[in-house]
Structure 1
């Protein structure tokens, strides 16, 4: 069999129905729109029509499961003031979104998160973190320091995740993704760089995992086994002394044991190694333009080139590490990281991964999967300039190449 024939056969297989985990949820194909902050919100983070249109367009053009990004479980869990959090107002708009996505034959998930100490939201009175930490990101907003969470704080956050999960299930969401990566609260507990606790929630990987695992178990118990709960988990932090691939293998086995539907494998720590996940160019000029104060702008101008590391892009850049997790667990795994071609899709599926998550190829062209399926293109034209990241903080995420 020729290489081209093999790729074509794998692409055909990619567009058949797929059951998510052991749940009854079936997707039209193996493709998931990765959770990527959209920035399509009105005052106080209420989703607007642009957000609805964005996800409906993805469903219309063949995404099996589209993921609404960065839904904070509480006001205290917001990284910035205009981020969405799960409350009565946002749920009204989100119900319309689920209905419209379903009308197109698609499925929709919500990414649930809590920022922990990584915030510059001036409305937050107390930053929450595993340990006492300095918050460089929020320093110029008067949020430079976070205190270690008390037991009451831990219980409150668990309750917020459960409440949010049940609310989203009640309005028609098909699945949830709990964000345990990228340096947000649950990731902060997992990483030895940010978790310096000396109680049962700190120290060994089992102790650092204890709070996130309790939280996920509570959510699964609340929503029931038929409602898929996915976990976004770092392969590693991309930092010396951080959460490692060995940690990831251990955590993956524990998440499999409690019945998580799938793991979305990712990497990087937003406050310390943000482009470890995205790879490609660093759009520093736009990031400086979007800074919220002159002090922040000047700091970015002077130190940005030194502290924001650039990571070169290459297709399927997380595959080598993701394969180590594929060997460690039998549960469904969602591969994320540099998939942008027919050949790349085939490589991932033939390596034993169940689903593929992507963002930038779909932001560049919402019809990307439709064109891959009919063979009219072999590869995305996204050049990894990452200017779409800058647009998140303007009027909403978009590709500056295709607009």
Structure 2
């Protein structure tokens, strides 16, 4: 058995433990560039004891952001990102950049760039229809991922995580409900998975052999007619066989259609509505219960589904969802998962992992109220933290 707090290998890296700070948008980049606030956010988590922290969300292009405040990978961003990676390294942790394109989750109005989707659809975030990329447009997105990976390497990142989840662009291509194409990128699962596999291969080639490459994959999006766990298992097998990733982080839900399947716990409908512009807010009042559904919280709530992947794959797997205490994290490792990823618990207490070392019975103060979720539109924080 391995200790969750013992050093572990991730591709070419050796992390000081098996705990990864999951990618959760920090809301600390008002000008789409690194700020002192963002540096301090990740420095504090690194000082708090994680093996690796993940910067989210590093979009590969201006139109790939969920809104204009997110970092997008370009030369101008490199000095700030280098300052961030240096600060994390000084605390003894590794740092990863989550790379991706938001696709139909992007706010085209905010970004002043079309939101992409595999098929034409109306996006209420930007109040306009999406743009459907042809083969050349898809190739441009693939090239943008490779360019972003090279910039991440130049910025001092130890790893990159390719976002294949939550109905962002690659994930929307995987969905049989959102992808109604008749070309080589639609129809059969092997066609729908082409974008995801091409992105990962391009990132691997650009990252080289000194960086770890991981991918975040939705097991199921929780939407009728959407992406199923059986399809996800097949895609995960292809990703493993392609040999381009060092580990797979498993997630669930859809930022576009069913976000609470990602988080579980209370649904913060009232405060979420306050973040929306007036026309969208009115619509939310009608559909809010269906959009922000309530799923009961329990420790390691994605573990049951993730075990199917653990049983069928040899690829290292990162377990996400409901990891808030050391016994639960250790149980995940004992069950064969290679790493655990944490989000909300570290937002509440950035030093939680360091305190696990001194007291294995330390319990997280996170109540799973999810009131942190609406704060991503201003400055992501735990509203209970003092």
Q: 1:70 and 2:53 equivalent?
A: no
More divergent stretch after superposition (377-386 vs 345-354): 377-386
Instruction: Map residues 29-108 of structure 1 onto 2, 5 A cutoff.
Output: 29-43=17-31, 45-108=32-95
Q: Name the residue aligned to 2:369.
A: 385
SS at match of 2:216: strand
Give how far 1:222 is off: 2.2
Distance 1:276 1:306 in 2: 12
More divergent stretch after superposition (370-379 vs 24-33): 370-379
Give how far 1:181 is off: 0.2
Q: Name the residue aligned to 1:19.
A: 9
1:151 to 135, 140, 153: 135
Q: 1:400 and 2:364 equivalent?
A: no
Q: Name the residue aligned to 2:252.
A: 267
Give how far 1:393 is off: 1.4
CA-to-partner distance for each residue in 1:251-291, whole Å, 9 max, x for gaps?
11111122211000001111111000100111112112111
Q: 1:223 and 2:207 equivalent?
A: yes
1:299 to 272, 283, 286: 283
Instruction: Map residues 318-357 of structure 1 onto 2, 5 A cutoff.
Output: 318-357=302-341
| Alignment CA distance shift 1:337-1:207 (3 Å) | same
CA-to-partner distance for each residue in 1:373-402, whole Å, 9 max, x for gaps?
2116432121101111122212x2111112
Distance 1:121 1:90 in 2: 21
Q: 1:112 and 2:95 equivalent?
A: no
Give how far 1:321 is off: 0.6
Distance 2:223 2:178 in 1: 12
Distance 1:235 1:114 in 2: 19
Distance 2:181 2:286 in 1: 34
Give how far 1:246 is off: 0.9
SS at match of 1:129: coil
Q: Name the residue aligned to 2:233.
A: 249
SS at match of 1:59: helix
Distance 2:17 2:112 in 1: 41
Give how far 1:307 is off: 3.3
Output the TM-score relative to the length of structure 1: 0.92
CA-to-partner distance for each residue in 1:13-47, whole Å, 9 max, x for gaps?
11111110xx321000000000000000132x112
Give how far 1:302 is off: 3.3
Give how far 1:117 is off: 2.0
More divergent stretch after superposition (269-278 vs 84-93): 84-93
SS at match of 2:105: coil
Distance 1:391 1:346 in 2: 30
Output the TM-score relative to the length of structure 2: 0.96
Unpaired stretches in structure 1, ≥5 consecutive residues: 1-8
Number of aligned residues: 384
Distance 1:150 1:285 in 2: 39
- The answer to whether the 8 A contact 1:326-1:352 is kept is yes
Q: Name the residue aligned to 1:5.
A: none
Q: Name the residue aligned to 1:136.
A: 124
Distance 1:87 1:342 in 2: 38
More divergent stretch after superposition (254-263 vs 220-229): 220-229
Unpaired stretches in structure 2, ≥5 consecutive residues: none
2:265 to 280, 283, 290: 280
